[in-house]
Chains A and B, each alone.
Chain A
Amino acid sequence: MHIPDAFLPIGQAIVYWIIALVFFALALRWAKRELNEARIPLVAVLAAGIFALQAFNLPIAMGTSGHLVGGALAAIVLGSPYGAVFILTLVLIIQGFIFGDGGITVMGANIINMGVIGGFVGFYSYKGLKAALGSPYISAGIAAWLACVIPALAASVELFIAGTFPLVPGLIAMGTYHAVIGVIEGAITAIALYLIATVRPDILELPAGAVAS
């Protein structure tokens, strides 16, 4: 759901950039407080893995493809939505400036959608679902589905405000495609969380079986 440069007028794009930079500043504060010698390599590997997975578009029928976004995964593994903001902002900067994937002027909007909304929706729905359901993996899968669909709907509203998409058809199409793409997001997030919890349960801020306070 990387928005290209052509889709947002520059004035609106600047507003999204300012909001995104505020959240990235908060993410830097999180990094200063929470990251240590043991967790920094994990953050770097997560970024590399999310970059690779974002390049892997899987067919979802309807003449459309989709890939993992990774906001929920990063937030759940690092135990904070700011972990997602930190990683997704840097990955989106690399994708935009080096690979032309996602625009430059609109990068703030992409950071808000995938990093901020994806991270916050993924993290807090995971916490709530895990308290209710118990299973960290089912909770992570559903949370990741939400963290794919809700940013997609946010993007369609932003593109409506920009005058690029009509509101209802945009919401219907973005919602339909990302409801299916979200299944990929959910499955990969649950599998990745399982793999990490299996080899290093201590790294997870919210370890399997524990309910976050």
Chain B
Amino acid sequence: MMEIRQLVIAGVALALVIGVAAVFFASGDPDGLESTALFVQGEKTLTGDSPEEGDPEAIGAGTFEYEAPMPDYTLGEDAGKPGEVMAIIAGIVISLVGVFAIARVASAGKA
């Protein structure tokens, strides 16, 4: 049976492979919610292609704006694919370490 330590290493390695592959192979098409937003705006048919320049968020009325440090899993347009790889690795590491730390704190202090 695999030790926890090996399981963690294998799991993180798999996450890194999936994450880096996502940078190069993920589809650029809008996701289900964005496609629905385009559909209800009349920008696309239900089963047709999505428009290149469509703006799914045009239908929204909200005014709140927030500038994320690594927007859309990039380090900015100038950083290109290497920047995207760095961003996704950073996200995986932050998820791993952050959730580990919060789980440790949350589970501490029990009898």
Contacts and interface: CB of A to CB of B under 8 A. Distances in A.
Given A4-B60, A64-B50, A103-B64, A169 B39 contact: yes
Q: Binding site of B, secondary structure by majority: helix, strand, loop or mixed? A: helix
Nearest to B23: A55
A67 B64 contact: no
For the side of the interface on A, what is the size category? Answer: 35 or more
Contacts of A101: 68, 72-73
Interface string A23-61: 000001001111110101111111111111101111101
Given A45-B15, A48-B12, A53-B18, A165 B40 contact: yes
Contact of B96 (A3, A44, A53, A61): A44
A3 B33 contact: yes
B31 interface: yes
Q: Binding site of A, secondary structure by majority: helix, strand, loop or mixed? A: helix
A104 B62 CA distance: 12
B48 interface: yes
Interface of A: 1-10, 28, 31-36, 38, 40-53, 55-59, 61-67, 86-87, 90-91, 94-101, 103-105, 152, 155-156, 163-166, 169-170, 172-174, 176-178, 181, 199-203
Given A49-B18, A105-B62, 8 more contacts: A10-B62, A31-B107, A41-B7, A43-B99, A45-B8, A64-B50, A90-B102, A174-B36
